[in-house]
Amino acid sequence: MPALNPATLLLTHNLRAKALGLAALLLGLGGCAQLDGLAQLKPGLSTGADVQGRYGPPSRIWPEPGGGQTLEYASQPFGTRCPMITLDKDGRVSAVVDGLEPAQRARILPGMRPEQVSRILGRERSRVFFELSGEEVWDWNIQPDQAGYPMRFNVHFKQGLVFRTSQSMVFPSRFGFRDD
């Protein structure tokens, strides 16, 4: 077997990295496209079977008082929405909410437990513990700001309770990749 030229190895490595990045992007966009058309779900008319027939199985199911349930369709780590589709006890759609819209993010208050946060926002993109501050920070990708830069919504926990929330802008790196 002939020895490979170092320049050929570097080119092969770069092409492989770009192909993996493109594949991840396409998978992320595919998940977003799958959840388009939520406006077609009609409260009182659409059923849980309609929802799952169109969007597939939910990423999580939350029980509701009175026998209903909420279907969570988390799109993290690539998406910026989290449809929460609530079904009444008869299995009919009663509400459709994006867990990551500003009104939902504003519901996150100091003193809340992690399960309460997940119940509102859906599955997080990542969790990081900061030893010096004693904070565990969960984050979600959210819609870009007016400048078009990707944004993250962050929930800071101390001793298992929400301490504060923040937002951060994700600037592109000099290598063309995000900070993931």
- Tokens representing 163 are 């301490």
Q: Once rounded to an integer, what is the mean pLDDT over residues 10-31? A: 43
- Read off the pLDDT of residues 111-141 as tens digits, 9 standing for 90 and up: 999 999 999 999 999 999 999 999 999 999 9
- Distance of alpha carbon 5 from alpha carbon 85, whole angstroms: 55
17 DSSP assignment: H
- Read off the pLDDT of residues 34-91 as tens digits, 9 standing for 90 and up: 456 677 888 888 999 999 998 999 999 999 999 999 999 999 999 999 999 999 999 9
- Distance of alpha carbon 45 from alpha carbon 41, whole angstroms: 8
Confidence tier at 167 by pLDDT (50, 70, 90):
very high
Report pTM: 0.74
Question: Got the DSSP string for 51-102?
Answer: HHHHH-S-SEEEE-GGG-EEEE---TTT-S--EEEEE-TTSBEEEEEETTSH
| Domains detected in the chain | 1-98 (3.30.1450), 100-180 (3.30.1450.10)
Write out the H or E segment, with its range, that includes residue 72.
strand 69-72
Give pLDDT, residue 35.
58
Could you tell me the maximum CA-CA distance found in the chain, to the nearest angstrom?
71
